[in-house]
Structure 1
Amino acid sequence: MDMPKSTKLEVIIPAYRMHTQSFLDVLDGLSEEDAMKRIDGRTNHIIWMAGNFVNVRYGIAHVLGLQEEDPYHELFYMGKTLDEHFSYPSLNELQENFHAISPKVYQSLLDVKDEQLAEIFQINMNVPFIREDKLNFIGMCIGRQDYLCGQMALMRRLLNYPAMKYDVDEKILY
């Protein structure tokens, strides 16, 4: 296992890598048509959830100083509300985007130092018990990805797909 320079990320690194696996597993076998379906017009569709998931990875990239831009930023940034009038990317496009950013973020997570993680990163949550720094932002991103994978897994079942598997592809190193 890769060892991060920061001991503060010893929990984040395995979670990040497991999210990579979970993201790919939850999307496995979904059709493009089904990925655009909403339940009773009230839920987000899987495309939106997957796009927000990838956008969160770009958020981590940004906080770590990477100069990478999500090509679908305007559709998903800060959990922007789903709009059925927008033209959303395909699952394939989102997965390509995911594979492009994820290894770069992973390497940055391994390389970041405690001093950088302690830097203030204003997100204006105004929650008195959350210090707005880079470490806590990354932690919140990990939580968001957990949530999104759970939502996509539920949608799989509601769309009559088998439950997601928890297969691990050991060739994916991020």
Structure 2
Amino acid sequence: MDTPKSKKLEIIIPAFRGHSQSFLMVLDGISEEDALKRIEGRTNHIVWMVGNFLDMRYAMGGILGLNEEFPYKDLFFQGKALDENLKYPTLQQLKEEFHKISPLVYQKLLEVSDEELEKAFPMGMNIDFFPETVLSFIGMCIGREDYLSGQIGLMRRILGYEGMKYDFDKDLKY
């Protein structure tokens, strides 16, 4: 495993890499058509979930100093509600964005210092047990990725796909 500059990220690094793996595995075999299906008009579709996952990756990159812009930000920024009147990118386009941003964010996670992680990052939550710092924001993004992967896994089963296989790609280094 790569060693981060900050000891505070020793749990984040394996989580980030694990999420990269589960992201690809949970999407394995999902058709473009099924990725746009909603259940009884009440759920978000998989494309929306994937877009939100990527919004988290781009948000982490931004707070860590990357200047990469998510081309579909207007559709997904901060969990923007699904709008059936909009045209969403394909699952393939989103997967390409995943492979573009993920190694860049991973490298930044390895390089960030404790001092940078301790910087204030106001989120407007005003919760006394939740310090509004860069580190807390990264933790929130990681948590959101977990949530979205679980949602996609549930949609996968509802749509009639087999459960996710845990065929880890040892060559994926982010």
Give the shorter-chain TM-score range. Answer: over 0.9
- For residues 134-160 of structure 1, what are the alpha-carbon distances to aligned partners after superposition, in whole Å with 9 as ceiling and x for unaligned? 000000000000000000000000000
Distance 1:43 1:166 in 2: 25
Q: Alignment length, in residue pairs? A: 174
Structure 1 runs of 4+ aligned residues shifted over 4 Å read none
Q: Which segments of 5 or more consecutive residues in structure 2 lack a partner in the other structure?
A: none
Shift of the alpha carbon at 1:111?
Answer: 0.2
The aligned counterpart of 1:37 is 37
The aligned amino acid for 1:87 is K
The aligned counterpart of 1:58 is 58
In angstroms, what is the RMSD of aligned CA positions?
0.5
Paired residues for 1:6-155 under 5 Å: 6-155=6-155
The aligned amino acid for 2:137 is F
Distance 2:47 2:126 in 1: 30
Distance 2:61 2:166 in 1: 26
Provide the TM-score with structure 2 as the length reference: 0.99
Distance 1:30 1:8 in 2: 36
Shift of the alpha carbon at 1:72?
Answer: 0.5
Shift of the alpha carbon at 1:65?
Answer: 0.8
Distance 1:131 1:51 in 2: 27
Q: What is the aligned-residue identity percentage?
A: 61
- For residues 114-140 of structure 1, what are the alpha-carbon distances to aligned partners after superposition, in whole Å with 9 as ceiling and x for unaligned? 000000011111212100000000000
Distance 2:165 2:123 in 1: 34
Q: Which segments of 5 or more consecutive residues in structure 1 lack a partner in the other structure?
A: none
Distance 2:151 2:95 in 1: 17
Deviates more, 1:3-12 or 1:162-171: 162-171
Provide the TM-score with structure 1 as the length reference: 0.99
Distance 1:151 1:90 in 2: 18
The SS at the match of 1:32 is: coil
Shift of the alpha carbon at 1:86?
Answer: 0.7
Distance 2:72 2:95 in 1: 12
